[in-house]
Amino acid sequence: MYLVTGATGNVGSELVRALHADGEPVRAIVHSNPADDGFPTGVDVRSGDLTDPSTLRDAWEGVRGVFLLPGYDQAPTFLRDARAAGVERLVLLSGGSAGSGDMSNAISAYMIASETAVRASGLSWTILRPSAFMTNALRWRDKLDAGDVLRLPFAGVRTAAIDPFDLAAVARAALLDDRHAERTYTPTGPESLLPADQVRILGEVLGRPLSVEAQPDEEARKEMLTTTPPQYVDAFFDSTSRAPSTSPRSLRQSSRSPADGLARSGTGPRRTGRSSSADPFGPPPGEPARDVTPRRPRARPRPGAERAAQ
């Protein structure tokens, strides 16, 4: 039996579906959403509150694997209960900012505290530190309703946003396969994109001529404070102010061309005599370049999932 906390959330709901599709028994923990919130038949749905682990005491029977959300001070009690119940594997959803080790940043701090509790739990663990979720785009819904030009914060900051579906697939693998024990992974999406790139793709999907206008920091801060506690708003600004502002180079554009290096070491492409091109990733002479564009983010927003935070 696999116990999934945050089972109505972006990642948890995908994980419930993935494990269920494998034929694994799943116990879905719901908090404020209704218990019958679209789970596949056969999923054991229970109510529970991670701020009060006693509400989960009846949910441990037969559980061998757990998916845990970060950010709950009561995690040590939850983890003790899990161990006492005979749980074997635990996957913690953390975040990339935990890697900074910065306890003065409110978001990093709660991720780090959760990771520390998990490492000390005596359970076999895997920690996931994903990049931002593609579902964060749902936060733009009101702006999308208002028009085609979106005033967005952090317009110069790139993210390789990940689809929660893909993150759930990583969590599933970590729960089912012991080879991921005691490992920390940093899953990301396939493309490093500016908000303007993401909005352009969204526009293509929605059939709208969408574009982005950079929102000044002070305006963005005021807007974020209407929905987010100040310490987390500060944490967002702190993290994004450290993000590099340069545009990353692609493999083709690399100044230290791997192609040149490979050619010099004699492992380059076979020369045809017709061209001196040493780029093994480039087109053969006379042929158009191959399309090496990575998979585009899928626009599969789920209603009611706007609350995600880093």
Q: What is the DSSP letter of 182?
A: T
- 251 residue type, one letter: L
What minimum distance in Å lies between the beta carbon of 111 and ligand NAP? 7
Secondary-structure percent of the chain, ordered helix, strand, coil, rounded to 5: 40, 15, 50
Is the CB of 65 or the CB of 96 nearer to ligand NAP?
96
Please compute, for residue 192, the number of CA atoms within 13 A of its CA located in the half-sphere on the CB side.
11
Q: Residue 49 or 223: which CB sits closer to ligand NAP?
A: 49
Name the minimum Å distance from CB 255 to ligand NAP. Answer: 31
Eight-class DSSP state of 276: -
Shortest distance (Å) from residue 245 CB to ligand NAP? 20
The DSSP output letter for 249 is P
Smallest separation (angstroms) from ligand NAP to the CB of 222: 21
With respect to ligand NAP, which residue has the nearer C-beta, 63 or 305?
Answer: 305
* ∠ CA 196-193-156, rounded to 5°: 60
DSSP codes joined into one string, 27-49 = EEEESSS-TTSSPPTT-EEEE-B
Footprint of ligand NAP (CB under 6 A):
5-12, 30-33, 48-51, 69-71, 93, 95, 130, 132-133, 135-136, 305, 307-310
For the chain, how many helices (H) and strands (E)? 9, 9
Select the residue whose beta carbon is closest to ligand NAP and give its number: 9
Nearer to ligand NAP, 10 or 239 (CB): 10
- How do beta strands 44-47 and 26-30 pair? parallel
Of 128 and 210, nearer to ligand NAP (C-beta) is 128
| Minimum separation from the CB atom of position 290 to ligand NAP (A) | 32
